[in-house]
Structure 1
Amino acid sequence: MRLLRSSIHSDITDLSGSVFTRKAARGIVLKGENILLLYTERYHDYTLPGGGIDKGESHIEGLIRELLEETGAHSITNIREFGRYEEYRPWHKEGFDIVHMESYCYLCDIDSQLKSTDLETYEIQNGMTPVWKNIHKAIEHNENTMLRSPKKGLSIERETFLLKQIVEELL
């Protein structure tokens, strides 16, 4: 899959520490200029649905599972590669200094009716909600959050970059 961008978080001065690699699959579902996103109240941002690929799971299996769990999307068809975003970020759990996050992004179609979500406890506590959002308004919102909000999470730069890339290439 083509590499869209590689980034290193500003808190990382070198990559010589212990590195944990985490692979994730992310879905891009468009209806005109509207895109299926997750709004997270805790971080006040919009992100692509998706998450970690489980051991023994293919990227596509992980994508389908994550879309169903986080948004209720089902009957996922016409899956095609969009691109990969890799980043190195500080890791705050025991055993590693850095996480090498690889996000594999896929375009896909879904059934127009969403089923119920099956969010994890921390996702519910963070106020995560699936929404259809105008992509331009989502970008503007995330940019304002990056500039003004102390609540911003580590993924907002990746997500905003990906949304802008989607606009540039697909709309």
Structure 2
Amino acid sequence: MRLLRSSTHKGITDLSGSMFTRKAARGIILDGENILLLYTQRYHDYTLPGGGIDEGENHIDGLVRELEEETGAHNVSNIREFGLYEEYRPWHKEDFDIVHMMSYCYVCDIDNDLKATKLEQYEIQNGMTPVWKNIHQAIAHNEETLSKSPKKGLSIERETFLLKRIVEELL
């Protein structure tokens, strides 16, 4: 899969610390200029649906599972590679200093109606909700959050970059 970008968090000055790799699959589902996203109230941002690939799970199975859990999407089809966003972030748990986050992004189709989500408790607590959003409005919203919000999450830079790249290449 082509590398879209490699990013190192400003808090990391040296990649020689203890590091682990986390792989995620993210879905790009478009309907004209509308895109299926997750709005997270805690961080006041829009992100692509998707998440961690489980041990022994391939990227596509992880993508389909995550889309079902986070958005209620079903009959995921016509899956095609978009690109990889790689990032190095600080890790604030025992045993590791850095997480090497690899987000594998795929364009796909789903059935129009969404079923019930199966969000994890932390996702519910963060106020995560699947929404269809005009992609240009989502980019503008994320850019405003980036410039003004002290509570922004680490993923918003990745997500805003990806949304802009989707506009450039897919719309």
Q: Report matched runs for 1:86-165 at 5 Å.
A: 86-165=86-165
Number of equivalences: 171
Residue identity matched to 2:97: D
1:66 maps to a residue whose letter is E
2:124 counterpart SS class: helix
CA deviation after TM superposition for structure 1 residue 151, in Å: 1.1
- Partner-residue secondary structure (3-state), 1:74: coil
Deviations 1:73-113 (A, max 9, x none): 00000000000000000001110000000000000000000
The answer on 1:55 being equivalent to 2:55 is yes
Percent identity over the alignment is 82
Specify every segment of 5 or more residues in structure 1 that has no aligned partner in the other structure, as ranges.
none
5+ residue gaps, structure 2, are none
**Deviation readout 1:104-162 (Å, 9 max, x if unpaired):** 00000000000000000000000000000000000000000000001100000000000
The corresponding residue for 1:42 is 42
Equivalent in the alignment of 1:85: 85
> 1 CA distance for matches of 2:128 and 2:162?
19
Q: Which runs of 4+ in 1 moved over 3 A?
A: none
Structure-2 separation of matches of 1:94 and 1:46: 29
**TM-score w.r.t. length of structure 2:** 1.00
Give the TM-score normalised by structure 1: 1.00
Query: Which residue is equivalent to 1:9?
Result: 9
